[in-house]
Every structure is written in structure tokens, then in C-alpha cells.
């Protein structure tokens, strides 16, 4: 090995390996002796000594890594001549040496494979910095060591000095203004700062240092005292209004705001948005509501806040009551009533031993009554649901169904008399009922004072006669004057 040549039938283990191969070949292919020509070439390694033109099967050649490459410990640097006359070796038994990770402050480096000998990397800088030097570097050989052929650096981007403004100055004077640095402007006494008070050094799309915005202005700004007719200020009570002052308004009761509640004193010495107005608003004629009538006289134009009342038509009701209301709103439309007038329903009639015929029991409906076989209807054979007061009721008292034995003789309403009244105002008038008559003041009864219900046949009754009468006027006068006349007669004698 001293000569660097390490080919052919080596010693020790190498010889053993070679012999094994040889034996294997002799057993498999008896008599097939071959040899290998020209040792292989590798980019990363070269024979460690002189080479022969031809090598017998089983011999091996030792390689050494080329400069910039280093051996891989797990791989063999020997190249062996196989029985089929080809060379065999571990793949990539030498790899490029590793360049040190580059140090780049405020930046990054990028690579596609690795950082070994021959590799190329690119550099980029963080936002606000720019690269000084070449943007890429290669891992190269230098005195048998590998290094990067170029080491750029990232420099912070500078801005021009901040603008100087009239009637104001900025804080934080520097010799150099660089990325990220902010300056804050203030105005002199009596001047308002218009715009952004702070600007900072940033970077435009072409990586040039620029200020984040224009420098503010220092101006004298005054807005006149804001007055809103029919309205009043809620906030912003000061002597003198200047840039940025805000005022909020409210309208007096009955007036509605057209415009913004809040205004701000602008750089142009005007209120922005313009001052609001407080107007009176009117609604047109109130809406018509089904099955309801407006109460009272209603104008065709009502100021906002006006409430009008509707009454449901007879037989209709609205949520427990019979009236509903709508109000003229600030947006000139009438409010929508949550209630509506709906047709009312009479109590569903029940007839023992009988039937009720009718679709429903709503206001205006007529139902018919009939009895089961063996029963006779006593009373009205139909009833109509009619309006009564704020509600509805059946127009007659409900009939009953009776067997022949239970039938009762009934009389109709007792006859009415002029200038008098009777106590038979309601209920059924069965056989034997008595109704008593009374005359109005100044009238006297003629005939009996009462009548009685008497039977005409087994179902129907009639009132007894004569029907009482109320007489008055002349009789009363004569009766009252008679003693006076008598007295006069007596006195004249």
C-alpha cells in the first residue's frame, strides 16, 4: 500500500472475498474466465494509485475522494471486478463536503438540495432591508476546505429626512431616518393639526424608503356656533369651535331630524356633514282597516305623533276589545296595528236530544234546530248570531226537545200598551204566568192590571183578555177640575 497501489489479489480479508467470488463463478460457470478493462471514472473519487489496463475477475481497486469530497463511513471505497467482467462499487461512496450555514442578519438564504460542495444558495433580506453584494453564493473549494464564495449582507433601508412644515415641528430628530422609525408632528399654539400627526419610514414596492403618508398641516380652523332650528345641542358646548370638535343634536318634541345627529368641525372651517334640520312630519289619511271604522273626524294630513282610533264593525272584535289604534310615525307612515277586527262567534248551541245544523256559529250565521225521533221541538226552529252590545248572541232563546208528556204550553211576548209597561220583559211564559201592567205618570189603568197565560191547545197558549189599557189626559183634567167647578157653583148661589 506504501506505493498507493492497492490492486489485484490483496491480502487478508480482501483475498478471502475475492476467492469466494472466484469459487462461486467456477461453480456456476465452469471455465468462464473473464477480466475487467479500464477502471471506472467518478466525479467524486479517483483511483488511489496507478492502474492497469486489465484486471482479473475478483480483483479490486481502491479509490480516494477527490478534493471537496469526503468518504461516507458506511460505504466502501473499493471497486471490484465481477465474474461477468463488470466493475461494481457502492454508489456515491464520497459526498461533497458541507459548507457552514451562512450567517445573514435580517435576511434568509434559500437552497434547493443541500449546502454541500458545489451547491448554490440564494439570499433575501427581511422587509425593510436590502441586499448588499451578490444575491447568490456557491460552496467552493478553498485550500482543501469548502467555503461560500460570496457573503452578502442586509442593510436597513433609509428614508429622506421628514418634511418640514409651517407652524409646526416634529419630534425625534435623527441623523439618519431608517425603516420603522416614526416621527410625530405638533402644531404651534392656536393652530390645528390636520392629517395624521405621526408618520413612519416604510418601503415602497421598489424597495425605496418612503414616509407612510404626507406630513400633517398646521392651520387656523374655526367653525361657527352651530344652531339647529327646533332642535338643541346634546353635547359639544364650547366657546370656540375648532378643527375636530363634534356636536350632537336632538330635535324638540314633535320634530324629526333630517340629516346627521353628529357633526364635526372640518379643516375647511365648515361643519361636516352639514347641520341637520328639525322638521315637522305629516302622515296622509289614516289607512282603512277591514271591518273597522275610524272614530271621530280625521284630517287628511296629521302631524307625526297623532294617534287615531278605530272601532270594529258590529259583530267584529279585536283581541279582547273592540277598538284599535294607529299612530303617525316620524317617517311619515302610519304604524301598523298589531290587532285586527275579526268576526265574532256565538256560543256553539247544544240541544239535548236534538241536532243543530250550520257550518259555523259566526256573526250573521243562521243555524237550524231539529229533534231526535220521538221528541218534539219546543221553541224557535232556527237562530241567527246577531250583534249585541260589544259582542254577539243568538237572536232567540234556544229551543228544547221534549217528549209528549213534558210539553208545556207557552205564550209569546205579552202585548205592549201605550203609555204603560209590564214586568214580562224576558224568559219563557208558561201556562199560568202572570204579567202585571203599570201606567206611566198621569195615566190610569182601564180594565184589569194583569193578564195570564192560558192554554189554547197542548202546545200553544194565549194571553187572557182584556188587555189592560192606560188612559189619561182629559179624564184626569176633568177629575182634577171637578171639585173646583163644584166650589164655583156653590159660591155663586
Ligand X SMILES: *[C@@H]1O[C@H](CO)[C@@H](O)[C@H](O)[C@H]1NC(C)=O
Residues forming contacts to ligand X in the complex (CB under 6 A) are 7-8, 52, 55, 59, 82, 84, 86, 110-112, 122, 136, 258, 279, 329, 331, 333, 423-424, 433-436
CB of residue 205 vs ligand X: minimum separation in angstroms?
19
CB of residue 388 vs ligand X: minimum separation in angstroms?
22
- DSSP letter, residue 277: E
CB of residue 432 vs ligand X: minimum separation in angstroms?
10
| Residue closer to ligand X, measured from CB, 101 or 145 | 101
CB of residue 362 vs ligand X: minimum separation in angstroms?
32
CB of residue 437 vs ligand X: minimum separation in angstroms?
9
Place of cell 481502491: 62
Q: What is each CA distance from 302 to 38, 193, 323, 332, 335, in whole angstroms?
A: 115, 49, 20, 9, 13
Phi, psi for residue 95 in degrees, rounded to 5: -125, 160
Residue 68 and residue 116 in contact, taking contact as beta carbons nearer than 8 Å: no
Burial class (CB in 10 A: 0-12, 13-18, 19+), 353: middle
In terms of Cα–Cα distance, which of 404, 417, 354 is closest to 381?
354
| Residue closer to ligand X, measured from CB, 300 or 492 | 300
Rounded-to-integer distance, Cα 111 and Cα 252, Å: 74
Provide the 10 A C-beta neighbour count for residue 298: 14
| Residue closer to ligand X, measured from CB, 36 or 157 | 36
Cell numbers for 252 = 324638540
CB of residue 276 vs ligand X: minimum separation in angstroms?
9
Residue 230 and residue 211 in contact, taking contact as beta carbons nearer than 8 Å: no
Provide the 10 A C-beta neighbour count for residue 367: 21
| Residue closer to ligand X, measured from CB, 434 or 477 | 434
| Residue closer to ligand X, measured from CB, 233 or 277 | 277
Q: Which residue is nearest to ligand X (CB)?
A: 8
CB of residue 31 vs ligand X: minimum separation in angstroms?
18
Cα of first residue to Cα of last residue in the chain, in angstroms, is: 198
Rounded-to-integer distance, Cα 439 and Cα 448, Å: 12
Beta-sheet pairing, 94-96 with 69-71? antiparallel
CB of residue 307 vs ligand X: minimum separation in angstroms?
15
Phi, psi for residue 411 in degrees, rounded to 5: -105, 155
Residue 394 and residue 382 in contact, taking contact as beta carbons nearer than 8 Å: no
| Residue closer to ligand X, measured from CB, 9 or 486 | 9
Rounded-to-integer distance, Cα 7 and Cα 14, Å: 10
| Residue closer to ligand X, measured from CB, 304 or 317 | 304
Q: Which stretches of 352-473 are DSSP H helices?
A: none
CB of residue 243 vs ligand X: minimum separation in angstroms?
26
Burial class (CB in 10 A: 0-12, 13-18, 19+), 5: middle
| Residue closer to ligand X, measured from CB, 122 or 196 | 122
Amino acid at each position: 500500500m506504501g506505493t498507493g497501489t492497492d490492486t489485484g489479489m490483496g491480502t487478508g480479508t480482501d483475498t478471502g472475498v475475492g476467492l469466494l467470488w472466484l469459487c462461486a463463478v467456477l461453480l456456476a460457470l465452469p471455465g468462464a474466465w473473464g477480466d475487467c478493462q479500464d477502471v471506472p471514472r467518478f466525479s467524486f473519487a479517483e483511483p488511489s494509485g496507478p492502474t492497469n489496463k486489465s484486471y482479473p475477475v475478483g480483483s479490486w481497486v481502491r479509490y480516494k475522494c477527490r478534493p471537496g469530497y469526503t468518504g461516507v463511513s458506511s460505504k466502501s471505497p473499493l471497486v471490484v471486478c465481477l465474474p461477468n467482467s463488470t466493475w461494481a462499487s457502492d454508489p456515491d461512496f464520497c459526498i461533497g463536503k458541507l459548507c457552514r450555514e451562512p450567517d445573514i442578519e435580517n435576511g434568509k438564504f434559500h437552497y434547493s438540495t443541500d449546502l454541500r460542495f458545489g451547491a448554490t444558495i440564494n439570499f433575501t433580506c427581511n422587509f425593510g432591508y436590502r441586499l448588499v453584494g451578490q444575491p447568490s453564493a456557491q460552496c467552493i473549494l478553498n485550500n482543501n476546505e469548502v467555503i461560500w464564495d460570496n457573503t452578502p449582507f442586509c442593510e436597513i433601508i433609509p428614508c429622506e429626512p421628514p418634511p418640514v412644515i409651517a407652524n409646526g415641528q416634529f419630534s425625534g430628530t435623527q441623523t439618519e431616518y431608517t425603516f420603522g422609525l416614526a416621527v410625530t408632528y405638533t402644531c404651534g399654539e392656536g393652530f390645528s393639526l390636520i392629517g395624521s400627526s405621526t408618520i413612519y419610514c416604510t418601503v415602497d414596492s421598489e424597495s425605496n424608503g418612503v414616509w407612510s403618508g404626507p406630513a400633517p398641516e398646521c392651520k387656523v380652523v374655526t367653525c361657527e356656533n352651530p344652531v339647529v332650528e327646533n332642535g338643541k345641542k346634546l353635547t359639544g358646548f364650547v366657546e370656540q369651535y375648532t378643527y375636530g370638535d363634534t356636536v350632537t343634536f336632538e330635535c324638540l318634541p314633535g320634530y324629526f331630524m333630517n340629516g346627521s345627529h353628529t357633526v364635526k368641525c372640518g379643516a375647511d372651517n365648515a361643519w361636516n356633514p352639514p347641520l341637520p334640520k328639525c322638521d315637522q312630519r305629516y302622515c296622509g289619511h289614516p289607512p282603512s282597516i277591514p271591518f273597522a271604522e275610524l272614530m271621530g273626524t280625521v284630517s287628511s294630513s296629521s302631524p307625526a305623533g297623532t294617534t287615531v282610533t278605530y272601532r270594529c264593525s258590529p259583530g267584529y272584535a279585536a283581541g279582547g276589545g273592540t277598538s284599535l289604534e294607529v299612530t303617525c310615525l316620524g317617517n311619515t307612515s302610519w304604524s301598523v296595528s298589531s290587532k285586527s277586527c275579526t268576526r265574532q262567534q256565538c256560543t256553539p248551541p247544544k240541544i239535548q236530544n236534538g241536532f243543530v245544523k250550520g257550518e259555523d256559529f259566526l256573526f250573521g250565521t243562521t243555524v237550524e234546530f231539529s229533534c231526535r225521533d220521538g221528541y218534539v221541538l219546543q221553541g224557535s226552529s232556527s237562530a241567527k248570531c246577531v250583534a249585541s252590545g260589544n259582542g254577539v248572541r243568538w237572536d232567540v232563546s234556544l229551543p228544547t226537545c221534549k217528549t209528549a208528556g213534558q210539553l208545556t204550553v207557552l205564550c209569546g211576548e205579552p202585548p205592549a200598551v201605550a203609555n204603560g209597561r209590564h214586568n214580562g220583559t224576558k224568559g219563557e211564559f208558561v201556562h199560568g204566568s202572570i204579567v202585571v201592567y203599570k201606567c206611566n205618570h198621569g195615566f190610569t189603568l182601564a180594565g184589569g192590571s194583569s193578564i195570564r197565560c192560558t192554554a189554547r191547545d197542548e202546545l200553544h197558549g194565549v194571553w187572557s183578555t182584556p188587555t189592560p189599557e192606560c188612559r189619561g189626559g182629559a179624564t184626569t183634567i176633568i177629575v182634577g177640575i171637578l171639585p173646583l167647578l163644584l166650589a164655583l157653583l156653590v159660591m155663586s148661589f
